[in-house]
Amino acid sequence: MQKEKLNTVVKPVGEAKIYDYDPDLSTHPIPPHLHAIPVQSNNKIDHYLIRFERLLNWTFRGMMMIAGLGLAVLMFSQVIMRYVFQSPFTGIEEVAVLLAVWIYFLGMGYATRVREHIHGGIVSLVVKDPYKVSIIRFAGSITCMIAACIFGYFACKYALKEIDRGRLSVNLRWPRGLWSASMVVGFAMMVGYFLLETITEFRALCKMPRQPNKQED
């Protein structure tokens, strides 16, 4: 019995039969075809759009990197000024919050691009038909895009209100619109990537053959 147990091949979680119908669970990391951005272009318009999106992606990633490094330098400088030189500068805290909110909302959009945002997987465990799972995901992407549009609308409304009233920060006297603009950019990224994700899933649905229902004997 012990030899049989030792010789038994244990399948990794990703190769277990229960997960075969769900690519999200059976493959780690997530394969490229599950990202919001398609890997291959079907026509010239897709080709130019993908190239434009890659440029935007590098821009946003560069902004996140610069903001993250800047935030780390600011926090280190504030510690040195507060505990070594005994003369803290409160303006650093305002800039730190500014960089933090930009990192957060840019990261929110980037997580939507690579489909690393929080989502439930119980549908995949209940429904085993890949076509039905794809339909549910397609409907979920549309719902998320509509929700992002609604929240983005209120973010734009709030940012415009801040700009119109000319509100300034307490210490540095910077326009409060710099902080509010991060929400607008973040939700705009989410809407755009959810739209691309919806288009990609719709195209995949059109190409996916429907499996006939198996009748029980």
pLDDT value for 1: 44
pLDDT value for 138: 87
Amino acid (1-letter code) at residue 197: E
Q: Which two tokens stand for residue 200?
A: 């990609």
pTM, two decimals, is 0.74
| DSSP result, 45-95 | HHHHHHHHHHHHHHHHHHHHHHHHHHHHHHHHHHHHHHHTSS---THHHHH
pLDDT value for 8: 40
CA distance linking residue 75 with residue 89, whole number of Å: 11
pLDDT value for 39: 64
Mean pLDDT of successive 10-residue stretches along the chain, which has 217 residues: 42 42 50 60 74 86 92 90 81 89 92 75 71 83 93 93 86 88 93 88 78 51
Q: Which two tokens stand for residue 100?
A: 């933090």
pLDDT value for 141: 87
Q: Which two tokens stand for residue 12?
A: 């990794």
Q: Which two tokens stand for residue 163?
A: 């700009």
